[in-house]
């Protein structure tokens, strides 16, 4: 069986992508995406974006649709990664780069920096905190970069010492957080 996600803004507004149903897949809902991209509206055009734990690709595709210059989508599930490649055929889809693999391992080896990183792993696995730590450790976030973290409302995400809260909102059972990267401090 497959489901569909719908792009809600930008040049691909209204376009749908077929997404295979997979255990634990939880696409970011329209209301949460609308809130997030309202927060990012002045920063998304021309931004280099990374969608870790891409899943359905809702966040990365929305970023590409709204004018990001590069969107890397990392997904561990090969079936989902293959389905995300459909969007590379859309007009303007050349900005999308889909990578199949473990998101945390990929961070270690990428060598790229990104202006905006979307961290939306399965809830309850502690992956948000590990991803934030890896972004700092491997220097993946550009100076002045932003990180969006999506989590269950009752989850606590540690490893925020390198980040400052920019926005924080509860939408149903989801907590949406936008974090700014604090500059490195001399020892």
Establish how many alpha carbons lie within 13 A of residue 149's alpha carbon, considering only the half-sphere containing its beta carbon.
Answer: 29
Across the 187 residues of the chain, what is the mean pLDDT of every consecutive 10-residue run? 82 87 73 92 96 93 96 94 91 95 94 95 83 93 92 74 89 89 61
DSSP assignment of 28-72 equals PPHHHHHHHHHHTTTT-TT-EEEEET-TT-HHHHHHHHTT-SEEE
CA–CA–CA angle 97, 134, 118 (5° rounding): 45
Residue 73 · residue 57 · CB < 8 Å: yes
What pLDDT is attached to residue 23? 67
- Write down the CATH superfamily of domain 2-181: Vaccinia Virus protein VP39 (3.40.50.150)
What pLDDT is attached to residue 186? 44
Give the separation between CA 30 and CA 7, rounded to whole angstroms. 8
What is the H or E stretch that residue 81 is in? Answer: helix 78-84
Q: What six digits make up the tokens of 86?
A: 């459909």
């Amino acid at each position: 069986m497959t489901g569909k996600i719908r792009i809600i803004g930008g040049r691909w507004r209204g376009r749908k992508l077929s997404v295979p149903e997979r255990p634990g897949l939880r696409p970011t809902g329209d209301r949460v995406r609308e809130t997030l991209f309202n927060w990012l509206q002045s920063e998304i055009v021309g931004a280099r974006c990374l969608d870790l734990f891409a899943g359905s690709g809702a966040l990365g595709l929305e970023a590409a649709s709204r004018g990001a210059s590069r969107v890397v989508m990392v997904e561990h599930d090969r079936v989902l990664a293959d389905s995300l490649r459909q969007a590379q055929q859309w007009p303007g889809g050349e900005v999308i780069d889909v990578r199949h693999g473990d998101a945390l391992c990929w961070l270690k080896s990428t060598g790229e920096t990104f202006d905006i990183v979307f961290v939306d792993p399965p809830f309850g696995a502690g992956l948000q905190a590990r991803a934030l730590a890896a972004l700092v450790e491997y220097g993946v976030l550009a100076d002045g970069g932003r990180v969006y973290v999506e989590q269950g409302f009752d989850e606590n995400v540690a490893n925020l010492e390198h980040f400052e809260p920019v926005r924080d909102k509860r939408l149903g059972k989801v907590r949406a957080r936008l974090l700014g990267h604090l500059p490195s401090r001399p020892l």
